[in-house]
Amino acid sequence: MERNQSTRRTFVTGAAAAAGGALALGGTVSTGRAEAASRSGTRSGAAAGPTVAVLGGGVAGLTAAHELAERGFAVTVHEKKALGGKARSMDVPDSATGGRKPLPGEHGFRFIPGFYLNLPDTLRRIPFPGNPNGCHDNLVSSTELLFARTGREDIRLPFATLGTPPGPMTPDELVRMIRGLLITACRLPVHEALYFANRVLVFLTSCERRRLETWERTPWWEFIRAERMSPEYQRLLAIGITRNIVATKAEVASTKTVANCLEAFLFNILGRGADGEPDRVLNAPTNEAWIDPWVGHLRSLGVRFEIGSAVVDLPYADGRVTGAVVQDPDGTRRTVTADHYVCAMPVEHARKTWGPALRAADPALSRADALETDWMTGIQFYLTEPTPVVHGHINHLDSPWALTSVGQAQYWKGRHIPAEYGDGRVRECFSVDISEWDRPGILYGKTAKQCTRDEVAREVWAQLKAALNDTGRTVLRDSVLHSWFLDPAVDGIGTPEPHNDEQLLIHPTGTWFDRPGSRTKVPNLFLAGDYVAVDIDLATMEGANASGRQAVNALLDAVGSAAPRCEVKPLYRAPEFEELKRHDAFRHRLGLPNVFDLG
């Protein structure tokens, strides 16, 4: 299995080579109007308008590039590793034989729920052969969700196909619905199910100021009174919703962030304000179904890409960013220039490029230092037999490393996996996200960070089997395990200095106030990324997409452009609760609790 491993250095080098090589080393590279004009005569769709350097080629950066190119800007995207960022899929090194494609690996599996509204719009605008709605037609709906319990009965929840959305709901009807679901499907005690349903109602009817001023500062664990409840309640509704899904501990997770997501998912299930089914995945590896077509479309719009060099500094002088200093793989530094800069790198990388002068110009940048990231990283197991455990995602609630997983091959319709990928023996890609890296496992008694790469794979496999093979049937068998692939962004595990180059923004209480907006006080610098303040308030591809749109709108406003603004769609809010929220705003001003709050 070790042959599937690659170092971070070889992975970066391979990404650069795949992009056709970095630009010539040394000196200053200008992406100004003169260069844009010269390109316009040789490349279809190339723009000759104001130049923009998009720093980061993940979902936020590609979204900004897409919107800017459609509005006539000359855009160059600078990306350190590979386009698509954490959303991309990647080739497993040395896995292909006989003319087949390499096995597809990834940072983590794709999950595109129906309450996403901005990302689906972008997917529709990316042409894909044979698809009337572009890449959006590559979305496939799951039909169920499994909460896999270790040593006890699993909880299997079907998703009904969206039909006609239900009519207006009263607070009593909402509480009854949630209570019934928790009692019937999750087997919670009646009083606990009723209490949780009441807490959801409290949030849904809370005004925006209460959400921001009170619930943003209240831990989810405290909001749902988890310390008073049964271990089942704590595991399912506190830990399962937070650590396993958004890599944040329930004891510190912001209620505003968690409940915002829960509200959106709840109404998605009810068919309210949704783009599609609650659980959707792609019908092929991510790059095939989405990223590669997107990059091809952006090239047709004139977007240029420079891959393999890291942005290390944004010099500031005379009230503006004067360039972006990039470092090539051999250590050589050079400066690229443009009229405007969209900083679309992950926050842990972006803030390293904001020097003292830039931070002094906009103190909001320094507040982003308080934002926290944690490890949520994927590993794929390749199996020689189809293993569709359920037609949907699996939350391994009792796994020490907070695992979630999905069997992907069942969605890759029209693809004969053995004939197209690897060595001809693989028939399943079982993709797993590891959200807890600091808790001992069941096999070696070590944390994931303390384990070697091989030990991580063996430990995760053991935890998967403990959750899935404990109900009288063997779901996962050692004999069908072909190989595995752990995200190469994870480096140095098993040593005193473990490192993860692609971490996930997490959401402890109060951190909303440290999240910057897209428009800075520097007139030619704009921010995009899942750490930027947007309505979804969660580190997601949807948040990254919305922030890219928001950054473009800020740029258009700054230059006084007459171009149409990008639509940034907010999360759905149920209209029948608006009157109750207005009443709550009055109570909040008086210092009174929400009218439904039982304490």
What pLDDT band is residue 583 in, cutting at 50, 70 and 90? very high
Question: Quick one: pLDDT at residue 12?
Answer: 32
Worst-scoring range by mean pLDDT, 219-233, 455-469, 470-484, 498-512? 470-484
Q: Reduce the DSSP state of residue 24 to 3 states and report it.
A: coil
Q: Nearest Cα to 340, choosing from 358, 364, 324?
A: 324
Q: What is the pLDDT at residue 227?
A: 95
User: Can you tell me the mean pLDDT for 8-16?
Assistant: 33
What amino acid occupies position 475? V
- What phi and psi values does residue 166 have, to the nearest 5 degrees? -65, 160
SS3 512: helix
pLDDT at position 598 is 87
* pLDDT band per the 50, 70, 90 thresholds, residue 146: confident
Higher-pLDDT residue of 248, 501: 501
Span 90-120+279-284+374-500 CATH architecture: 2-Layer Sandwich (3.30)
Residue range 177-201, pLDDT digits in tens: 676 667 665 678 889 999 999 999 9
Kindly calculate the radius of gyration of the chain based on its CA atoms and give it in whole angstroms: 24
CA distance 315 to 207: 42
Fold of 31-80+308-372+516-559: FAD/NAD(P)-binding domain (3.50.50)
Residue that is written with structure tokens 């800069």 in the block: 341
Q: Which of 123, 260, 270 is nearest to 571 (CA)?
A: 260
Query: How does pLDDT run across 17-45, given as a tens digit for each residue?
Result: 333 333 222 233 333 333 333 333 333 34
Scanning 185-223, the segments in alpha helix (DSSP H) are 190-204, 208-213, 220-223
Q: Give me the half-sphere count of Cα atoms (radius 13 Å) on the Cβ side of residue 283.
A: 13
pLDDT at 271: 86
Find the distance separating the first CA and the last CA of the chain, reported in whole Å. 53
For the chain, what percent of residues have pLDDT higher than 70? 89
CA–CA dist 162, 276 (Å, integer): 8
Q: What is the pLDDT of residues 391-430, one digit of tens each?
A: 999 999 999 999 999 999 999 987 788 999 999 999 999 9
The pLDDT score that the predictor gives to residue 23 is 27
* Predicted local confidence at residue 413, as pLDDT: 82
Mean pLDDT of 351-361: 97
Q: What is the pLDDT of residue 502?
A: 94
Over residues 169-178, the pLDDT tens digits come to 677 777 776 7
- Give residue limits of the domains in the chain: 31-80+308-372+516-559, 90-120+279-284+374-500, 167-273
**Of 104-118, 159-173, 388-402, the least confident:** 159-173
| pLDDT tens sequence across 359-369 | 999 999 999 99
- Per-residue pLDDT averaged across 343-349, rounded? 97
Strand ranges (E), 212-307: 280-282, 304-307
C-alpha dihedral sign at 130, 135, 141, 145: positive
Task: From 548, 561, 515, 539, select the one nearest 118 (Cα to Cα).
Answer: 548
Residue 548 has pLDDT above 90, yes or no: yes
Cβ–Cβ under 8 Å, residues 76 and 51: yes
Tens digits of per-residue pLDDT, 44-95?
344 567 999 999 999 999 999 999 999 999 999 999 999 999 999 999 999 9
Mean pLDDT, the chain, as a whole number? 88
User: How much is the pTM?
Assistant: 0.89
The whole-angstrom separation of Cα 463 and Cα 476 is 11
State yes or no: pLDDT of 247 exceeds 90.
no
Strand partners, 342: 54, 526
Residue 10 clears pLDDT 80, i.e. is over it: no
Q: Where are the alpha helices (DSSP H) in 351-477?
A: 356-361, 364-367, 417-420, 453-468
Burial class, 497, CB count within 10 angstroms (exposed 0-12 / middle 13-18 / buried 19+): exposed
Residue 300 phi/psi, 5-degree rounding, is -65, -25
